[in-house]
Amino acid sequence: MRVVILAGGYGTRLAEETELRPKPMVEIGGMPILWHIMKYYASFGFREFFVALGHRGDVIKRFYIDYCELHADLCVDLATATVRIDSQPREDWTVNLVDTGRDTATGGRIKRLQSALGRDTFMVTYGDGVSNVDLNGLLRFHRSHGRIGTVTAVRPPSRFGGLLMNGDIVEVFVEKPQLGEGWINGGFMVFEPSMFDYLQGEQDTLEIDVLSRLAAEGQLCGYRHDGFWQCMDTLRDKRLLEQIWAGNRAPWKVWD
């Protein structure tokens, strides 16, 4: 099954990190968050990726062009100026890096991949979020409901401490409560190819032109995920993910 990763945005809320590189290339533990996302999908057996490039797509291309040489054992013969790769990286991925336009909207980027994706079910996610969602369970859920699309519904922790008040008295304080009814789209989506019928041009968005319309027509399901989910919108988010990774507590690290 093919996996589309939207990796073309400007990442303006993370400007400290994205002036010279796209947000999916911002690193956690020395590797781009894009790599973490792909490692997670590959751990469930999804290894064919279509990365929709836009802003500074050249940085992502260079990373994967150099990947084999930089993550393998090399033999460099200085006398003959030759390089031999003596081992291969463990990743058995196929990575399709597709320029989808610098200013193309999210839906337009997916539309540009239509011919490559064919007429099969495919997955879509954003290039800036990690989770421990059960991807096989997500796919089973999608197929069992027979709808055009399924999104992973998450309830991220609030950024502020929560208070339960009785008059002027605080009865309960929760440092980082879950947002009670605040389900949001956490990415990690599944679509049938008929979703392309909802996309016309480059400025169509996935969120408005596809998801909103599918929901209005009863064609969108939500796979509830109560586990870990974290996007990387701000420098604060990046530092949080770095701390989790450095402490060997990353819930998305399901590979050896």
Question: Taking the chain (256 residues) in consecutive chunks of 10 residues, what is each chunk's mean pLDDT?
Answer: 94 80 95 98 98 96 89 88 81 95 96 95 97 98 95 78 55 56 86 96 94 93 93 92 95 94
Q: Is residue 14 part of a domain?
A: yes
pLDDT score of 213: 92
Identify residue 136 by its one-letter amino acid code: N
| Cβ proximity of 85 and 74 under 8 Å | yes
In a domain, 171, yes or no: no
Domain holding 141, by residue range, is 2-154+185-246
Q: What pLDDT, on a 0 to 100 scale, did the predictor assign at position 169?
A: 46
**53 bridge partner residues:** 7, 99
pTM of the model: 0.89
pLDDT of the residue at 159? 61
Number of folded domains that form the chain: 1
CATH code for the domain in which residue 25 is found = 3.90.550.10
> pLDDT at position 43, please?
97
Burial call 23-60: b when 16+ CB within 10 Å, e when fewer: bbbbbbeeebbbbbbbbbbbebebbebbbbbbbbbeeb
Q: Is residue 177 part of a domain?
A: no
For residues 207 and 195, the answer to whether their CB atoms sit within 8 Å is no
User: Does 253 fall in a domain?
Assistant: no
CA 97, distance to chain mean position in Å, is: 15
Domain membership of residue 166 (yes or no) is no
